[in-house]
Amino acid sequence: MSGNIRPLVSYALMVAAGAAILAFALSSGSTYISPREMVRVLLGDPAAAEYRILVHLRIPRVLMALVAGASLSVSGAMFQSLLRNPLSEPFTVGVSGGAALGASAGIVLGAPFSLVAVFAFAGSLGAITLVYGLSRVRGLGPGGIILGGISLSFIFSSGVMLIFALARPENVHRALMWLMGDLSLARFDALGRMGLFALALLCAAFLLHRHLDVISFGGDFARSLGVSAADTRSVFWIGGLLAALAVALAGVIGFVGLIVPHAARALVGPVHRRLLPASALCGALFLVICDTIGRILAAPYEVPVGVITGFIGGAFFLALLLKKGRGVG
C-alpha cells in the first residue's frame, strides 16, 4: 500500500510546489506585482502597464518555459531508457548541434523569431534523421548511436563557428543569445501552434510507457516480450521531436533532459507510467524556476536561462561525483 501512496504524495507535493512557483514567477521581475495585484490587474484595465507586463511578457514566457521544460525532461527520460544509459539526454543524439546550426543560419540571414524557430526545428530534425539513418544502415546499438550523435554535434559546432566567422557582429550577438537559451521572445502566437504539437507528442509518449519499461531492460528482452522494431522507432522519433520542439522554442538549454528524469525517478520510481508525468511536471517547474532566477539575479538585465541550468547541472554532477568519490577512496 505504501508503494502506491508514495507516488500520490509526491504528485500532490509537486502540484502544491508548482502553484507557488508559478505565482512567484509571474510576480517577480524588474517590476514586482503581488499575487493579489495580479488578480486585480487581470480583471481591470488592459491599458495598464502591469497588465501589459503580465499578459504580453510574463505569462507567455512562463508558458513557454513550462512547455520546453516538460518536453526536454520527458525526452530525456525516453532516451535514457532507450539507450540504457543514465547519462543520455536529447542532445546526445545531436539535437542541440543541428538546432544551433539551423538557427544560426536563420539569424545570419535576418529571419524573424518565428522563422528562426523553423530553421532550428529543421536543423534538429536533420540531426535526428542522420543519427537514425546511421543506426539503421550500420546496425548501431545504443553505444554506436551515442557516438554517432556526438560526432555529428562536433561537425555542427564547426558549422556554427564558420557561420559566426562570416557573419556580421550584430547577428553573432543575436545568435549567441539564442544559443544560451532565451525565453524573452515568447509570444502567444508562436506558442499556441507549437504548444499544441508538444501536447500531442507528450500524450503519444505517455501511451508508450509499457514499451519503455520493457525496452529499458535491453533489446533482446524487449523483442522476446513482443516489442517490435516499429515501437522502438516510435520511442526514438517521439523523444527526438520533443527535444527538437523545445530547442526551436527556447534555444539550447542543457541539463534539463539529463538531471530532471533522475530527480523524478527518486520521487516516483522507475516505472514509466509514473515517471513520464513526473518528469514532465518536474521539468516544466525546473525551467520556470531557472528562468525566474535569470530574470531577477541581475535585474533589470537578464541572465539567459541556459546559463542558469548549466550552473545548476554542473553543481549537481560535481556533488554527485564527490559523494561517489568518498566510497571509492
Q: Can you give the pLDDT of all 329 residues of the chain as single tens digits?
A: 455 677 778 778 888 888 999 999 999 887 888 888 888 888 877 777 888 888 888 999 999 999 999 999 999 999 998 888 888 888 888 888 898 899 888 888 888 877 888 898 899 999 989 988 888 777 667 778 888 888 888 999 899 999 888 888 888 888 888 888 888 878 887 788 788 889 999 999 999 888 888 887 766 656 666 666 677 788 889 999 999 899 888 888 988 999 999 999 988 888 999 999 999 999 999 999 999 999 998 877 889 999 999 999 888 888 877 876 555 44
Q: Is 75 helix (H, G, I), strand (E, B) or coil?
A: helix
We report the CATH number of the domain holding residue 245 as 1.10.3470.10
Say which residue the cell 557573419 belongs to: 167
- Compute and round to an integer the Cα radius of gyration of the chain: 20
Nearest one of 278, 279, 288 to 250, comparing CA atoms: 288
User: Per residue in 128-173, pLDDT tens?
Assistant: 899 888 887 776 677 788 888 888 889 998 999 998 888 888 888 8
Burial of 155 (0-12, 13-18, 19+ CB in 10 A): middle
Record the cell numbers describing residue 68, joined without a space: 520546453
Total domains in the chain come to 1
Q: What secondary structure, in 3-state letters, does 211-239 show?
A: HHHHHCCCHHHHHHCCCCHHHHHHHHHHH
Q: What share of the chain is helix, strand, coil (3-state, %, to 5)?
A: 80, 0, 20
The whole domain housing 137 covers: 2-328
